[in-house]
Chains A and B, each alone.
Chain A
Amino acid sequence: MADISFLILTVMAVSSAILALESKEIVYGAISLMSMLMSMAGFFILLDAPFVAMFQIIVYVGAVAVLILFTVILVKREKWIKTEVSGLRAAGILSGLILAFSFGLLLLQSNLGLIYANEKDSSFVDIGIQLISEYWLVLEVLALLLSASLIGALTLAKLEKEN
């Protein structure tokens, strides 16, 4: 059962990641990026991390993907599809394949395939305890970072009108 859902999620994640980069209309690319993020949430549920999966759906699919969709709608349709440089495409495919093959060889030579999941479940209650006891400073800095980036985004978006 877990193997079948793993296969489905893998096919969905990889194909929608390719489609996000290769679709002609960039709106469809944004939507297939959303589907890729959803399949990531599925992986997290398979990996026994339901809290991270919910966080992923709320933050990514709920907030970031909608932000991307709005930006795509505000920006005009891409008009350089025909003038795409083919040398760039070959360089991209080559670098991706080199990376994939080198890391794949590295993995096949290691003994990581012998490691199996431990059966004991981890409780997501521990995440909260760890966040406020051990990593409380990270939490505070994270809140500051989020508000700073939102204020920065607003300031950048308003910048033009003053000139």
Chain B
Amino acid sequence: MESLLQYLVVSIALFAIGVYGIVSKRNALRILFSIEIIANSAVLNLVVFSKFLPMVNITGQTFALITIAVLAAEAAAGLALILVAYRIHKDIDVFEMKELQG
């Protein structure tokens, strides 16, 4: 019998891995990877709570679809930004991008 807790544990583990990546990585592509991992743990949470509600309720799955579409738009914009930064700096190290800090 599957319980709600085991899926939430998986979601927490993925979230923690994503936070570790965002804090510790310097490569902009790796930071984008960790954002994708965190977002996927959120989508997993939506689908899990949609399944484990007492009544049959499909709103969580609808919201998961919407979230996946928004994430696709985010990935396209982020990758284009990384390409532009690479063209200007010849590097995607986020520690080197300091123009906006003044």
Total number of residue pairs linking A and B with CB closer than 8 Å: 240
Known contacts A104-B12, A152-B77; decide if A96 and B61 are in contact (CB<8 Å). no
Given contact pairs A40-B43, A75-B92, A78-B27, A146 touches B73 in the complex (Cβ within 8 A): yes
Number of interface residues of A (CB under 8 A): 86
Q: Are B4 and A115 closer than 8 Å at their CB atoms? A: yes
Q: Which residues of B contact A17 (CB under 8 A)?
A: 14, 17-18, 37
Interface of A is mostly: helix
**Majority-rule SS of B interface residues:** helix
Check A117–B52 contact: CB distance below 8 A. Answer: yes
Contact with A along B30-52 (1 / 0, CB 8 A): 10111011001001100110111
Cβ B3 vs Cβ A99 within 8 A: no
Assess A107 versus B79: contact at CB under 8 Å? Given A21-B17, A47-B48, A59-B69: no
* CB neighbours of A114 from chain B (8 A): 3
Asked if A84 CB lies within 8 Å of chain B CBs, one says yes
Chain B residues close to A by CB (< 8 Å)? 1-10, 12-27, 29-30, 32-34, 36-37, 40, 43-44, 47-48, 50-59, 61-62, 64-66, 68-77, 79-84, 86-88, 90, 92-93
Known: A37-B40, A49-B64, A85-B26. 15 other contacts (CB 8 A): A33-B33, A40-B43, A51-B61, A75-B86, A88-B24, A91-B23, A92-B20, A96-B17, A99-B12, A112-B3, A122-B61, A127-B61, A142-B70, A149-B76, A150-B76
